[in-house]
């Protein structure tokens, strides 16, 4: 039997190849150069200038002190001082301009370009990606790390150039003082490379271990901060549970930090500090022997001690910058992996013909098989594994046909599979088994965006965006001269006219107060009417209403149903509901229970049959009588 392939988290702990580190960092540098070329060139220039700044003072001091020891005249010393002063003035002027003015503007542009790229990528992800915690962690990590990691790579590249220029200049100077000292410095640098590689690797896995814990901590923070949770927190004991979760999460973070702190201390921190101190003071002792032997002047000794310490710092930092590329590579690889991910929900046909029919043929669906990390080599393997996991199926062997112009009701109690069916019709997921046919063609053949443009949907968990009322109705594509009457008419049909007249800025009123203190927070029923107006404002051949009257009272529900019938007279409408007052206007009713289609027919026919639908309708009829 063919095996299910899954990414093993342990494979991420394999040692990186040098070629992979180079490729990943060049990938990010190339992206920065493409998006902000001035950032690329100015960072290189800044690195060269600061490399000269960091080495010039030591070279200057060495030559000046040796010149004084040799008895050189004052004019030569004065010319050296004047030349260095001019160089520093020009170099500092450039550096101040770059870091205080231009760098922030460049980084802002880079942030915009890289996040727009990530937003476009996120737009293509199927819902299964958001169902998988590990994939979602990678997604959040990519969003949070993208531009900051690109900036870190560029700044480390600038600093690397800086250190190469400075240390190269000073190493040349030290070879002129004594080759043995220069060789010792190079050996210490080699040891520093190994130590930094170990330290950076520990840091990466520390961050990786903390990432899901930080997500949980941030979630708990949001529940106490956001207005969405304010009422629930105050009327329930959820706060006690959240306090316990928060304490537990913080304890785990503390334990992780302590564990990796010890690892960092013993594998990198103290061992490297010990070696550096021994090397530094050993070289000073060696230079004293040169001074006593007369092979080194007192001025040269004083300058060389400072140069030796500066070279140690420069080489240490240079090695740190080099080894940081390995750490950057680990993050960049996650970013590239996210960007390389190819959605499985795709199709080739972009021209979708006028709607005639939707047909489900033996459709089953299991959420367990939507995980993006799972790959099947053959369709038969999906069927085998699906049959072995029937208890997890959200839909089971469903067949039905919806024709143009029909009014269809999908009913059943919570968990019956109604919303899952809509997700399949919208092609947010593909069936585990069976087919969904649009005009006789499998919907997997159509481009998802082109296919979805045929369907207007009001989701049960609809969202109102923090923008104007008109832009909410038009899904962002609002032109006042062209669309004003269209939006007003859609809101009127959704029974929003009275509320519209009370809004301070009419269609221009901002919804929510997220970014506008003068914005309006709508009630649940008012917000639902805005969501319904989105469907009325556009010409969709198929309209799906997922619990369209869930937040409405019976009278408003009746008025809404009449508006829907009026506005969608020539369209196909699919109602999803467990409130059966809506079903009386449907041509055909499909009753679901535990993922199975158990009954279908007209309202009167199903009542006469005396099955599950009739039982559900009788119970709800009594409820409506009480409300009336």
Q: Would you state the structure tokens that stand for residue 518, as one six-digit string? A: 């003068």
As averages over each run of 10 residues, the pLDDT of the chain (628 residues) reads 32 66 92 92 90 80 70 71 84 88 88 87 78 69 78 90 86 78 75 72 81 85 78 70 85 88 73 73 78 68 71 75 83 84 85 93 81 44 49 84 92 86 90 94 93 88 84 82 89 86 87 80 85 87 80 67 77 82 82 92 90 86 54
Q: Which of 399, 441, 448 is nearest to 423 (CA)?
A: 448
For 384, residues 6+ apart whose C-beta sits below 8 A from its C-beta are 1
Concatenating the DSSP letter of every residue in 192-259 gives HHHHHHHHHHHHHHHHHHHHHHHHHHHHHHHHHHSGGGHHHHHHSSHHHHHHHHHHHHHHHHHHHHHH
pLDDT tens-digit map of 161-196: 988 898 888 878 777 777 877 787 777 767 766 776
Contact between 98 and 53 (Cβ < 8 Å):
no
Note the pLDDT of residue 624: 53
- Cα–Cα distance for residue pair 288/298, rounded to 1 Å: 10
Q: Which of 77, 307, 54 is nearest to 177 (CA)?
A: 307
User: Where do the structural domains in the chain lie, given as residue ranges?
Assistant: 13-340, 466-539
Neighbours of 390 (CB within 10 A): 12
Compute CA distances 50 → 53, 86, 91, 163, 167, whole Å. 5, 15, 8, 8, 12
For 547, residues 6+ apart whose C-beta sits below 8 A from its C-beta are 460, 576, 577, 578, 579
- Cα–Cα distance for residue pair 428/422, rounded to 1 Å: 9
Instruction: Report the DSSP beta bridge partners of residue 358.
Output: 402, 438
Contact between 29 and 40 (Cβ < 8 Å):
yes
Residues 563, 565, 566, 569, CA torsion sign = positive
Q: Which CATH number fits domain 13-340: 3.40.50.300, 1.20.1560.10, 3.20.20.100, 1.20.1260.10?
A: 1.20.1560.10
Note the pLDDT of residue 441: 95
Q: Would you state the structure tokens that stand for residue 205, as one six-digit string? A: 């896995």
For 294, residues 6+ apart whose C-beta sits below 8 A from its C-beta are none
Of the CA atoms within 13 Å of residue 172, those in its CB half-sphere come to 8
- Cα–Cα distance for residue pair 422/546, rounded to 1 Å: 8
Contact between 114 and 188 (Cβ < 8 Å):
no
- Cα–Cα distance for residue pair 396/593, rounded to 1 Å: 10
- Cα–Cα distance for residue pair 612/619, rounded to 1 Å: 11
Residue corresponding to tokens 């010039």: 56
pTM (predicted TM-score):
0.62
Note the pLDDT of residue 622: 65
At 358, which helix (H) or strand (E)?
Answer: strand 357-366
- Cα–Cα distance for residue pair 88/52, rounded to 1 Å: 10
Residue 234, class by beta-carbon neighbours within 10 Å (0-12 exposed, 13-18 middle, 19+ buried)?
exposed
Note the pLDDT of residue 324: 84
pLDDT tens-digit map of 272-296: 677 777 777 777 787 788 777 777 6
Residue corresponding to tokens 């009275």: 498
- Cα–Cα distance for residue pair 529/458, rounded to 1 Å: 10
């Amino acid at each position: 039997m063919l095996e299910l392939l899954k990414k093993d988290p342990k494979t991420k702990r394999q040692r990186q190849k040098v070629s992979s580190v180079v490729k990943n960092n060049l990938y990010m540098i190339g992206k920065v150069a493409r998006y902000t070329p001035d950032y690329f060139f100015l960072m290189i220039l800044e690195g060269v200038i600061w490399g000269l700044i960091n080495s010039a003072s030591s070279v200057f001091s060495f030559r000046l002190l040796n010149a004084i020891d040799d008895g050189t005249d004052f004019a030569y010393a004065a010319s050296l001082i004047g030349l260095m002063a001019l160089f520093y003035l020009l170099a500092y002027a450039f550096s101040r301009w770059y870091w205080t003015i231009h760098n922030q503007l460049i980084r802002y542009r880079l942030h915009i370009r890289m996040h727009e790229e990530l937003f476009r990528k996120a737009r293509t992800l199927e819902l299964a990606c958001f169902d998988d915690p590990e994939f979602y962690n990678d997604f959040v990590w990519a969003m949070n790390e993208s531009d900051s990691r690109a900036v870190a790579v560029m700044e480390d590249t600038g600093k690397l150039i800086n250190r190469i220029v400075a240390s190269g200049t000073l190493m040349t100077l030290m070879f002129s003082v004594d080759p043995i000292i220069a060789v010792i410095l190079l050996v210490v640098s080699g040891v520093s490379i190994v130590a930094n590689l170990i330290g950076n690797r520990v840091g990466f896995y520390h961050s990786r271990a903390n990432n899901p814990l930080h997500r949980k901590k941030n979630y708990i923070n949001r529940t106490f901060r956001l207005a969405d949770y304010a009422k629930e927190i105050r009327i329930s004991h959820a706060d006690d549970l959240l306090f316990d979760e928060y304490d537990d999460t913080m304890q785990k973070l503390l334990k992780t930090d302590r564990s990796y702190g010890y690892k960092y201390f013993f594998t990198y921190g103290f061992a490297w500090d010990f070696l550096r101190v021994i090397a530094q003071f050993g070289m000073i002792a060696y230079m004293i022997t040169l001074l006593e032997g007369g092979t080194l002047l007192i001025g040269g000794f004083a300058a060389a001690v400072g140069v030796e310490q500066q070279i140690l710092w420069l080489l240490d930092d240079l090695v740190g910058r080099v080894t940081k590329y390995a750490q950057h590579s680990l993050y960049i690889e996650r970013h590239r992996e996210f960007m390389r991910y190819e959605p499985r929900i795709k199709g080739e046909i972009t021209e979708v013909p006028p709607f005639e029919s939707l047909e489900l043929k033996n459709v089953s669906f299991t959420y367990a098989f939507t995980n993006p990390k799972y790959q099947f080599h053959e369709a038969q393997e999906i069927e085998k594994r699906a049959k072995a996991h029937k208890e997890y199926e959200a839909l089971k062997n469903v067949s039905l046909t919806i024709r143009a112009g029909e009014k269809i009701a999908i009913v059943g109690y919570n968990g019956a599979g109604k919303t899952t069916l809509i997700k399949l019709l919208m092609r947010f997921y593909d069936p585990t088994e069976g087919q969904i046919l649009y005009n006789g063609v499998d919907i997997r053949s159509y481009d998802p965006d082109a296919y979805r443009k045929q369907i207007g949907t009001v989701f049960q968990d609809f969202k109102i965006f923090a923008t104007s009322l008109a832009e909410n109705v038009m899904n962002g594509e609002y032109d006042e001269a062209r669309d004003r009457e269209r939006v007003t008419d859609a809101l009127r049909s959704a029974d929003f006219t009275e509320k519209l007249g009370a809004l301070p800025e009419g269609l221009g009123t901002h919804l929510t107060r997220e970014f506008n203190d003068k914005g309006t927070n709508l009630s649940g029923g008012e917000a639902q009417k805005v969501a319904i107006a989105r469907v009325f404002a556009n010409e969709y051949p198929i309209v799906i209403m997922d619990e369209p009257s869930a937040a409405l009272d019976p009278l408003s529900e009746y008025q809404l149903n009449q508006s829907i019938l009026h506005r969608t007279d020539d369209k196909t409408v699919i109602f999803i509901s467990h409130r059966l007052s809506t079903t009386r206007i449907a041509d055909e009713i499909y009753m679901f229970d535990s993922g199975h289609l158990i009954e279908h027919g007209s309202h009167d026919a199903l009542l006469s049959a005396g099955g599950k639908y009739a039982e559900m309708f009788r119970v709800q009829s009594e409820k409506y009588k009480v409300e009336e």
